[in-house]
A = this chain, B = another copy of it.
């Protein structure tokens, strides 16, 4: 198979889709974040690359807190809306019913299946975006998505961003066991 060089401005894999929330001048604001993942095992952290000029980012810096809200497929329109409109131009504070946890300044979306309440630990200045690292100080799930004491991601119907193709896709069928499939390998 022939390999070709492509642009280094490449978005090479399916990405998680979340809304990062913060309080900006006392009002909840949300930013569609797909450049996000877990950033440490313990204390449990998330890392997210966001532009420091974003409206949401100002709230993150002002309060030292933020939320990560994971949508299900039925929330795709509002989720995308938060990505194509800045809180500088539209008021996103009425889009969702929000609730607060112990930090009191990280607005979490009631209707979304899963919410993380985060305290800003580090901010890494990059060339363009900054990487914000937050400790997960509390996590909330809709009760109906808990099975045998654990969250069931599949029933949450999350979706991913295929950024290279400009599309959201549902998560599809099970392929194999993680920490299991590899046992079938024979050298």
Residues on A lying within 8 angstroms of B by beta carbon are 1-18, 34-45, 47, 49, 51, 68, 70, 73, 76-85, 94, 99, 110-111, 114-116, 122, 124, 126-129, 131, 133, 136-144, 146, 150-154, 158-185, 187
* CB contact between A167 and one of B17, B79, B162, B176 (< 8 Å): that residue: B176
A77 and B181 contact, CB distance less than 8 A: yes
A185 engages B12 (CB within 8 Å): no
Check if B165 sits within 8 Å of A152, measured CB to CB.
yes
Of B36, B154, B159, which contacts A165 at CB under 8 A?
A: B154
Give chain B residues whose Cβ lies under 8 Å from the Cβ of A140: 3-6
Known: A36-B37, A173-B169. A116 touches B10 (CB 8 A): yes
List B contacts of A164 (CB < 8 A). 150-153
- Contact between A78 and B165 (Cβ–Cβ < 8 Å)? no
Cβ-neighbour of A44 out of B8, B150, B168 (below 8 A): B8
